[in-house]
Chains A and B, each alone.
Chain A
Amino acid sequence: MSSNVVVVLDNGGGLIKAGIGGERDPTTVVPNCTARPLSSKKFLLADQLLSQTEDLTSAVLRRPFDRGYLINQDLQSTIWSHIFSSLLHVTPSSSSLLLTEPLFNLPSIQRATDEIVFEEFNFKSLFVSDSPSLVHLYEASRRPYDVVSKAQCSLVVDVGFSFTHVAPVFQNFTVNYGVKRMDLGGKALTNYLKELVSYRSINVMDETFLIDDVKEKLCFVSTDVARDLQIARRRGNDNYFRCTYVLPDGITHTKGFVKDPIEAQRYLTLSEKGELPQEGANEDDEPEVKSKPNKVDLTKNEFSLSNERFLVPEMIFRPADLGMNQAGLAECIVRAVNSCHPHLHPVLYESIILTGGSTLFPNFAKRLESELRPLVPDVYQVKIATQEDPILGVWRGGSLLASSPDFDAMCVTKAEYEELGSSRCRRRFFH
């Protein structure tokens, strides 16, 4: 029965997405790190970090990934064995593994990874894939009449945890000479937000999990930075971006939360000129609202955000503002396309796919389109599609591939690995 089990593992720097091939959704999505809370001596693994009761204040973090590449194999195999045994309930020796790895993985890292897979876990066979081709595969199968699947070609923009890749995919293969990378991803954004909040209100330099939550709930991409900065300068209730986040107090709640979610969502209804829609019903509320002091209550542990909310994701579009000597995302896309054959240019611009957790910021696609349009020749159409679920997109592609009939033939078996060694086997994956 269990002879055909394929474990699909999207081993990201931030989150591990793991499940059984052929299913629609992964069984678990857990952080790829261990953390030790201040109160204990033990490091908590993967899913234990997600439990509601665990107090992760000032937890010390350890990640197996550094700058997007696997550097700590020991830690990674601890996390994997936990996932395989207590979350997926699979026996590696009777199953195959589909693993994703970052583009341009170093040979030494590949060798070490193969070693864990075959010698420590004893997997029956292994297939290694890069993420852009899996994203392409999933999108092509989901939209069979679209350009993506007709031309068998797409431009995958993966804004991940450690970095951002723009990768052209052609005939299900990533065009490796066309790939462009920006060294900026979700981790840097979280740390940047941490720095800003710590400097301006409360020291949260240790609270990675908390600030991750703040970033996911409150940050958004501005469509007009100059206008939004003007609005953020206003005082009191006219500042549509100001909102308050309540820190956990460790007694009544161990997780932080947004104080007033409706207030936090106000920016979504802003018109072009930066005005809120006027409603008759609003006028009745206004005196009440004005009487409410809009200041941060210092007795409670909370902090307010205003321009930080859009200045943080802004860095993906202009890393130069941070002092990083790299082009922004729009220019990155243009360079990736230009390094491909000219015949592909129109098709690539028309089939841009956004994936990766950091594309979840509201207005991301809209802003990208407005930045990209002036850089692309008029005759080409620009079409940006966001994945249904950018975090799981890669995994779903992997699941699809694992359930295809030729999957077994593409794998490298343990016997082959033992016979030929790591580097020879890797050639089969065309890396």
Chain B
Amino acid sequence: MEDDVRRMSTRARKVAPKMVAALASTDNRTQAILARLEALENDNPGAELVEPNDDDDDASLDEDDDQVFQKKQSKGTKRKTRQAKALETAKKAPRTFLELLHDANLESLPPHVPSYLRAAVGPPSSTSRRDFCTVCGFSAKYTCVRCGMRFCAARCQNVHNDTRCLKFVA
């Protein structure tokens, strides 16, 4: 066993465990890709998702008095529990398209009926893809072993590791 290790080059010895780790967790990579595609459909990607209940929460300074007044008033009447409030916002919030799609239950349609799901173009005929460096945009030779993103040179790799690696993995 020890003989085997010694026969490998230093590079192989260094890289091999990393490769094993990467292959074991292909999950990371698919997760990263999916998260990236999801991010492309997001309307306000810069902001951390804030719940749209700003009508009562972020009052400006001049409205402070009003709010205090309201709070006093609401103490007298019935108070909403946190649960009830959460339920209410969940009801108010529009449902995403994917939820609606799930509810429509299109899978149950017979196969000859065209539907949203069947209209998708499907995977490309050739699996080849061009790889662009995620740092500088030029064609990339190398893949990050952890997250699967591409980079073209050691310089870009350093930038990638410092800033972006595993960014899209929760």
A interface vs B, CB < 8 Å? 33, 41, 58, 60-63, 66-69, 71-75, 103-104, 106-109, 165-166, 176-177, 179-183, 187-188, 191-192, 194-196, 199-200, 203, 205-206, 208, 225, 229, 232-233, 307-308, 311, 318-328, 331-332, 335
> Chain A nearest CB: distance from B87 CB in Å?
18
Query: Which residues from chain A contact B101 at a C-beta distance below 8 Å?
Result: 106
Segment among B2-10, B12-20, B33-41, B67-75 that sits at the interface with chain A: B33-41
Q: Is B42 an interface residue (CB 8 A)?
A: yes
Q: Give a binary string over B18-35; 1 marks a CB under 8 Å from any A CB, 0 the rest.
A: 000000000000000100
A sample of 8 cross-chain residue pairs with beta-carbon separation below 8 angstroms, ordered by A number, consists of A60-B44, A71-B100, A180-B119, A199-B135, A326-B124, A327-B124, A327-B125, A331-B121
| A69: contacting residue among B100, B121, B164, CB under 8 A | B100
Query: Which residues from chain B contact A74 at a C-beta distance below 8 Å?
Result: 94
In the bound complex, do residue A192 and residue B114 qualify as a contact, i.e. CB atoms below 8 Å apart? no
Complex Cα spacing A311 to B36, Å: 17
Residue of A nearest to B167 (CB): A199
In the bound complex, do residue A66 and residue B96 qualify as a contact, i.e. CB atoms below 8 Å apart? yes
Residue of A nearest to B52 (CB): A62
In the bound complex, do residue A326 and residue B123 qualify as a contact, i.e. CB atoms below 8 Å apart? yes
In the bound complex, do residue A194 and residue B45 qualify as a contact, i.e. CB atoms below 8 Å apart? yes
8 Å CB interface, B95-151 against A: 95-98, 100-101, 103-104, 112, 114-116, 119-125, 127, 129-132, 134-139
> Chain B nearest CB: distance from A226 CB in Å?
8
In the bound complex, do residue B42 and residue A191 qualify as a contact, i.e. CB atoms below 8 Å apart? yes
> Chain A nearest CB: distance from B144 CB in Å?
13
| 20 further A-B pairs in the complex, CB-CB below 8 A; given A67-B97, A326-B121 | A61-B43, A61-B44, A69-B100, A71-B96, A71-B97, A104-B114, A104-B115, A106-B116, A109-B100, A182-B121, A183-B120, A188-B41, A191-B40, A191-B42, A192-B40, A199-B134, A307-B137, A320-B124, A321-B130, A326-B124
* With A71-B94, A108-B100: A322-B164 Cβ-Cβ less than 8 Å: no
In the bound complex, do residue B36 and residue A323 qualify as a contact, i.e. CB atoms below 8 Å apart? yes
> Chain A nearest CB: distance from B122 CB in Å?
6
Complex Cα spacing A188 to B38, Å: 10
Query: Which residues from chain A contact B76 at a C-beta distance below 8 Å?
Result: none
In the bound complex, do residue A104 and residue B119 qualify as a contact, i.e. CB atoms below 8 Å apart? yes
In the bound complex, do residue A233 and residue B138 qualify as a contact, i.e. CB atoms below 8 Å apart? yes
Query: Which residues from chain A contact B103 at a C-beta distance below 8 Å?
Result: 108
| A327: contacting residue among B54, B100, B121, CB under 8 A | B121
* With A106-B116, A182-B121, A206-B44: A321-B131 Cβ-Cβ less than 8 Å: yes
Complex Cα spacing A321 to B124, Å: 11
Query: Which residues from chain B contact A109 at a C-beta distance below 8 Å?
Result: 100
Query: Which residues from chain A contact B122 at a C-beta distance below 8 Å?
Result: 326-327, 335
Complex Cα spacing A109 to B100, Å: 8
In the bound complex, do residue B123 and residue A106 qualify as a contact, i.e. CB atoms below 8 Å apart? no
Query: Which residues from chain A contact B96 at a C-beta distance below 8 Å?
Result: 66, 71
* With A191-B42, A326-B120: A331-B125 Cβ-Cβ less than 8 Å: yes
